[in-house]
Every structure is written in structure tokens, then in C-alpha cells.
């Protein structure tokens, strides 16, 4: 029986190798993240900003801005992705490059460390330090944020980052490997750079936003479900009440609504982009965030991450158990 079981395990080696790559990537992204300045996706973000400065003209018609956004996204994503995907196919040890790609795509997962530092700064009433720490992570204005605004911004980033980090990486790696994870992450990075609710990118970012709405619908829903089950029936009910903004549903707002429900706080509300005020839906599920609301949000996301890591580990173990029963 042992040789037969060993042979079955060998036949499924791709499954176990993929699980190991995923698990180590998730683990290292938490305990040994790259410094933000050294992250390739941050450099990609800078290129995207420069591209937008050159081709995004507000005086053009809406359709021209949409076309410019679509062509810019193609020009930024396709060449870089094609080169890396081609190199991945030619690599003698593709598992190593798959690990590197996943590790890079997961580096926003270390925002919980920044969130903890922001919480400490707010506890010490050092709002200037909190704003400085948040500035590289957000595209919205931070210089005028109050203590409540800083708490809200930190919590919202904390609970939405895993959608395109942990959850998308796990699902897309299972479906299409590291190449699909990279393509999805690059598209999401463009959306984070060209924020759809920023008036400056209202039409320019629309093609990327539409594509990401479809692409990240399942990861968003699964992450929202992972959050909602920790808040009981009330939070689960929020899962089925889409939050709309200007007639359009934003998955990030839905995620924030569920997190607000679980934490019993208020999130959302007005934001500023380049000095322009944008009114977003207030998510009233309790009082304004208090001093340790960020710490509670960190605990919430930590538990949810453990759920997903457990999923990554348990699936191959269950499969191996079924294989063993098959020959028993």
C-alpha cells in the first residue's frame, strides 16, 4: 500500500508543489516583506502616473478619455506581462520564478505593520507622523485628515488590500498560475493609481475599472464572506446589500461596509483628491472609530488571513487523504 500511495502522491506533485509555493509566499509576505521603495509594483505605479500625466487630458471628450485610458492600460500591462510570462515558460526552474511573482504581488499585505504604527502614532497624538506613514499607501489627500479620518483611511486600506493580495493570488494561481496572478495584480495597480472616484480619472480609468469589476468579483465576494462570518447574521445580511456610489457599485465600498458592520463603527464619508472634495457613502454601523479601532481591524484581518492560509493548507491534505482511502 505504501508504494502505491507514494506513486499517487508523485502523480499529484504539481498540486503539492503549487501549495508549497503559495504557502511560503503568503508566509514571507507577512514576516519578511520587501521595503516599499524596493517593490517593483511601486515602480510600475510611478510609470502609470507619468503615463496619465502625458495622455489624460480633461479638456477632451469623455469618449476620448476612455479610449486614452484603455490604450494606456494596454501599453503598460501587455509588454511587461508578456516578457515576464515568456521568461517563465523558458525558465529551467519555473517554481522559483512563480514564487518570486507571488511574493511581489503579495507585498501590500504588509500594510498591517504600517497600520499598527499609525495606531501607535494616533495613541501618542502624533497626527503628522500618522499622515506621513499613510501618504505612500494612499492616492487621496492626507494632509488635512483628522484623527477620525486617519483611522478610517487606515482601516479601509487594511480591509481592502487582501482582496487583490491574498484572495486574488490564491484563486488566480489555482486557475491560471503565476502569469494570471501577475496580470490581475498589474491591472489592479492601475486602478489603485487611477482611482475611479477621483474626478481627474473619472473617465480615463473607466476601462480598467470595468475589467477589474469582472475580474475581482469572485475574490471580493469571498473575502467579504470571510469577514462577514465573523460578525454574525447582521454582517452576513450586509453581504447582500450592495453599496452604490453615483449609481455604480464599488466592491471596495462593499468590503468597507461589511468591515464596519463587524467592527461596529462608521467608515466611508468625504475624501479629497488634489484638493477636490468627493462625497462617498457614509457607512453608519456604529460610532466613529475610537482610539483602538485600528487594532481591532488588524485582529479582524489577521483572523481572516488565517482562514485563507488554512484553506491553502487543508485542500492538499484532504486530497491526500482521499487518495489514501482510494487505495485502502
Q: Is residue 150 part of a domain?
A: yes
Domain total in the chain: 1
Residue 328 pLDDT: 58
Query: Can you give the pTM of this predicted structure?
Result: 0.90
Rounded CA separation 239/256 (Å): 11
CB within 8 Å of 132: residues ≥ 6 apart: none
Q: Is residue 259 part of a domain?
A: yes
Q: What is the DSSP letter of 36?
A: G
Rounded CA separation 310/200 (Å): 41
227 C-beta neighbours (distance < 10 Å), count = 26
Q: Is residue 202 part of a domain?
A: yes
Q: Is residue 1 part of a domain?
A: no
Show pLDDT as tens, one digit a residue, over the chain (328 residues).
556 555 655 666 677 788 888 889 988 888 888 888 888 998 999 999 999 999 998 888 999 999 999 999 999 999 999 999 888 888 778 888 899 999 999 988 889 889 999 999 999 989 999 999 999 999 888 888 899 999 999 999 999 999 999 999 999 999 999 999 999 999 999 999 999 888 899 899 999 999 999 999 999 999 999 999 998 888 888 888 877 666 455 678 889 999 999 999 999 888 889 888 888 888 899 999 987 899 999 999 999 988 888 888 888 777 767 766 666 5
Give the pLDDT confidence of 97-126 residue by residue, as tens digits. Answer: 899 999 999 988 889 889 999 999 999 989
187 with 216: CB under 8 angstroms? no
Residue 290 pLDDT: 84
Q: Is residue 3 part of a domain?
A: no
Task: For residue 268, list its beta bridge partners.
Answer: 282
138 with 234: CB under 8 angstroms? no
146 with 122: CB under 8 angstroms? no
Q: What is the DSSP letter of 254?
A: H
Domain of residue 229: give its range: 9-327
Residue 259 pLDDT: 94
Residue 246 pLDDT: 60
Q: Is residue 4 part of a domain?
A: no
N-terminal to C-terminal alpha carbon distance within the chain = 7
Rounded CA separation 147/196 (Å): 25
Q: Is residue 315 part of a domain?
A: yes
Sole residue written with cell 468590503: 255
From the list 139, 112, 138, the residue with the least C-alpha distance to 120 is 112
Q: Is residue 41 part of a domain?
A: yes
Amino acid at each position: 500500500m505504501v508504494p502505491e500511495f507514494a506513486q499517487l502522491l508523485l502523480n499529484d506533485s504539481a498540486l503539492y508543489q503549487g501549495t508549497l509555493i503559495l504557502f511560503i509566499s503568503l508566509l514571507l509576505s507577512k514576516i519578511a516583506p520587501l521595503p516599499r521603495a524596493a517593490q517593483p509594483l511601486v515602480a510600475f505605479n510611478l510609470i502609470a502616473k507619468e503615463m496619465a500625466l502625458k495622455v489624460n487630458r480633461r479638456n477632451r471628450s469623455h469618449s476620448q478619455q476612455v479610449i486614452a485610458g484603455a490604450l494606456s492600460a494596454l501599453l503598460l500591462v501587455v509588454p511587461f506581462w508578456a516578457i515576464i510570462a515568456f521568461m517563465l515558460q523558458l525558465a529551467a526552474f519555473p517554481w522559483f520564478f512563480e514564487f518570486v511573482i507571488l511574493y511581489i504581488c503579495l507585498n501590500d499585505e504588509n500594510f498591517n505593520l504600517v497600520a499598527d504604527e499609525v495606531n501607535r502614532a494616533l495613541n501618542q497624538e502624533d497626527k503628522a507622523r500618522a499622515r506621513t506613514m499613510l501618504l505612500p499607501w494612499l492616492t487621496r489627500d492626507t494632509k488635512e485628515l483628522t484623527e477620525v479620518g486617519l483611522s478610517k483611511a487606515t482601516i479601509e486600506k487594511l480591509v481592502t488590500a487582501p482582496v487583490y493580495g491574498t484572495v486574488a493570488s490564491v484563486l488566480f494561481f489555482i486557475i491560471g498560475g503565476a502569469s494570471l496572478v501577475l496580470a490581475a495584480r498589474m491591472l489592479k495597480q492601475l486602478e489603485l493609481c487611477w482611482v475611479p472616484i477621483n474626478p481627474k480619472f473619472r473617465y480615463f480609468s473607466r476601462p480598467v475599472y470595468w475589467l477589474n469589476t469582472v475580474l475581482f468579483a469572485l475574490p471580493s465576494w469571498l473575502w467579504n464572506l470571510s469577514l462577514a462570518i465573523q460578525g454574525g447574521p447582521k454582517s452576513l445580511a450586509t453581504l447582500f446589500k450592495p453599496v452604490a456610489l453615483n449609481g455604480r457599485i464599488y466592491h471596495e465600498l462593499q468590503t468597507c461596509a461589511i468591515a464596519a458592520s463587524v467592527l461596529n463603527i462608521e467608515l466611508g464619508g468625504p475624501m479629497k483628491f488634489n484638493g477636490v472634495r468627493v462625497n462617498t457613502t457614509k457607512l453608519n454601523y456604529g460610532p466613529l472609530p475610537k482610539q483602538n479601532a485600528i487594532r481591532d481591524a488588524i485582529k479582524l484581518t489577521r483572523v481572516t488571513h488565517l482562514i485563507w492560509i488554512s484553506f491553502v493548507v487543508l485542500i492538499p491534505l484532504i486530497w491526500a487523504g482521499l487518495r489514501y482511502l482510494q487505495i485502502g
